[in-house]
Structure 1
Amino acid sequence: MQTVWAPFFARPGRASFRREIWTTPDQDQVAVDWIDAPPCAPVVILFHGLGSSSRGHYALALAVALRQRGWAGCFINFRGCGGIDNRLPRSYHAGDSAEIAWMLEKVARLLPDRQRYAVGVSLGGNALLKYLGEQGNDAERVLSKAAGVCAPIDLVATAEFLQKGSVRFYNRYFLISMKKTARRFQRRYPEMANWSRVFSARNLYDFDEYFTAPVHGFAGAQVFWEKGSSAPLLRHISLPTLLLHSMDDPIVPIASVRSAVLSPAITPCITEHGGHVGFMTGPFPGHLGWLPNTLLEYFEGRNRDE
């Protein structure tokens, strides 16, 4: 219920952004939406989930919380998201830690004197955690702390989980969203993929087998999931990182989270309820303040210690 209710019916509040268009290292483009704040205020960098953007319910709730604290926000839309098409025949994916790397380096250059914190939600959470594991101590050059929210750290386990029982609904939901995005690519890049196979996909495996994997240089869906998962790298994270999940998440199997080997720098937090990036509280129709407040309180902890 929280998974469905939060994005469609809860009221996250209103937020106004200042938009920039960044050019990527390979001459593509992404939209970046800012919450401005005083020059010395900390900045929170948000990486969204699959099919979402800086206008997602959790993004708007975080934007409201940042304004209340007087903090800045840098909400990065992945390629093709946020209302603009990208220029190249490629998309974004859960294992694209290289994309995370250049984005964080750019924010560090733009705001060198601020405390910088990063949040990755769902797909963006796995990509961020993968980056942190790959970078080890070097991540501390660009960030003070990080958080992964409902991240599918084991992509193989998550894909298998989505084929079971009642949660197949989410498999269909994601598939419809991804095919809609793929049609935008088809119109601009007819040679990009085997489109008949892409649009005949019946599950996430088929879609990743015929689109995500070949477009991004992987031999197939299974290889993409194995190489893109952050779970094997969590033991190498040295940056203080919050790993937040819910036991009743209908998309990310909690067993895959509990079985992961975590570094001492990671603070795991598994709530009893919350769904997949729901975390609603209060009376009907519900409030979305728990998640952003939890994240910001975690980030503020280092400042208090220092």
Structure 2
Amino acid sequence: MGANVLTKYIGEEGASCTLSCAVAVCCPFDIKVSSDAINQSNLLNNYVFQPAVMRTLMRAIKRAEHLTADPTWALDMTRINGAKRLWELEEELMVKISGYKNLAEYYERSGCVAYVDDISIPFLAINSLDDRITPPQGIPVAKFMVNPSIALALVPHGGHLGFLTGFPPRIWFIKPIEQFVEAIIIR
């Protein structure tokens, strides 16, 4: 979600953005599309993605249990502690904490897809066609074709943050990111 937050921020800031440039890797531009993808019931989601994400989030919730939640949020801690799918936590935590009416409003207002048009700094997005968490149907390809400040590297393989090459395998996207940032900063 960090790529979404960054992309939304630079779009919201528009011409006022103080960053020189930005790079987003595997950005879930359309949060609804990404949520639908990760919440689909299939072998990979049921036994790999969902359990890994839920373990991490539940550990974070456990670490924060000594904190007192704002009572106006009306959090149902039984539901939170019993959550098995990401959407359950989003509905019980993100919707309530952020003050949205429901999950649909959270997805619509939290996603960066509506802000891509307003990005005015050099911006590079690297996504993969085989990413099961940020699938290609959520990537606003047409927006990249008309905004001269932004570029999309949409590669056939890489999964979600995989992007491996060679033997022993190494992540290949570091070098292009370095080159992009150096080209902007040194120019």
TM bin, normalised by shorter chain, reads: 0.7 to 0.9
After superposition, give the CA deviation of every residue in 1:250-301 in whole Å (9 maximum; x if it has no partner).
21111111555232211110112111112112113x123x222110101122
Out of 98, 103, 121, the residue aligned to residue 239 of structure 1 is 121
Q: Deviations over 1:166-194 (max 9, x none)?
A: 34131232122111211222233266632
- C-alpha separation between the residues in 2 aligned to 1:157 and 1:190? 30
Cα distance change, pair 303–189 in 1 and its aligned pair in 2 (3 A): closer
- Aligned residue in 1 for 2:159: 275
- SS of the counterpart of 2:173? helix
- 1:220 deviates by 2.8
Contact 1:242 1:269 survives alignment (8 Å): yes
CA-CA distance at 1:147 after TM superposition:
0.8
Q: How many angstroms does 1:129 deviate by? A: 0.5
2:39–2:87 Cα contact (<8 Å) kept = no
CA deviations over 1:221-264 (Å, ceiling 9, x no partner): 22211100001110111111001101111211111115552322
Q: TM-score, normalising length from structure 1? A: 0.55
Whole-angstrom distance in 1 between the partners of 2:70 and 2:170: 45
Instruction: Provide closer, same or farther for how the CA distance between residues 235 and 190 of structure 1 changes in structure 2, counting only shifts above 3 A.
Output: closer
Structure 2 counterpart of 1:125, one-letter code: A
Deviations 1:75-97 (A, max 9, x none): xxxxxxxxxxxxxxxxxxxxxxx
2:70 and 2:16 map into 1 onto residues whose CA distance is 39
User: Taking structure 2 as the reference length, what is the TM-score of the superposition?
Assistant: 0.87
Q: Could you say if the C-alpha distance between residues 260 and 173 of structure 1 is closer, same or farther in structure 2, counting changes exceeding 3 Å?
A: farther
Is the 1:167–1:250 Cα contact (8 Å) retained in structure 2?
A: no
Alpha-carbon distance in 2 for matches of 1:299, 1:191: 41
Query: C-alpha deviations, 1:37-84, integer Å up to 9, x for none?
Result: xxxxxxxxxxxxxxxxxxxxxxxxxxxxxxxxxxxxxxxxxxxxxxxx
8 Å contact 2:4–2:112 — kept in the other structure?
A: yes
- Percent identity, aligned pairs only, is 25
Matching residue of 1:149: 25
Report if aligned partners of 2:50, 2:86 keep a CA contact under 8 Å in 1: yes
Match of 1:186, SS? Answer: coil
What are the residue-to-residue correspondences of 1:2-17 with 2, within 5 Å?
none
Aligned residues: 179
Instruction: Specify the SS of the correspondent of 1:132.
Output: helix
The answer to whether residue 63 in structure 2 is matched with residue 184 in structure 1 is yes
What is aligned with 1:229? 111
Amino acid at match of 2:149: A
| SS of equivalent residue, structure 2 residue 66 | helix
- 2:170 is matched with 287
In structure 2, relative to structure 1, the CA distance for the partners of 1:260 and 1:160 (3 Å cut) is farther
RMSD, aligned CA? 1.9
Q: Distance in 1 between matches of 2:98 and 2:165?
A: 39
Paired amino acid for 1:298: F
**Residues 1:161 and 2:37 aligned together:** yes
Higher strand share: 1
| Corresponding letter in the other structure for 2:170 | H
In 1, are the aligned partners of 2:117 and 2:143 still within 8 Å (CA)? yes
| Structure 2: segments with no counterpart, 5+ residues | none
Q: Which has the higher helix share?
A: 2
Query: Which residue does 2:148 correspond to in 1?
Result: 264
Deviations 1:1-57 (A, max 9, x none): xxxxxxxxxxxxxxxxxxxxxxxxxxxxxxxxxxxxxxxxxxxxxxxxxxxxxxxxx
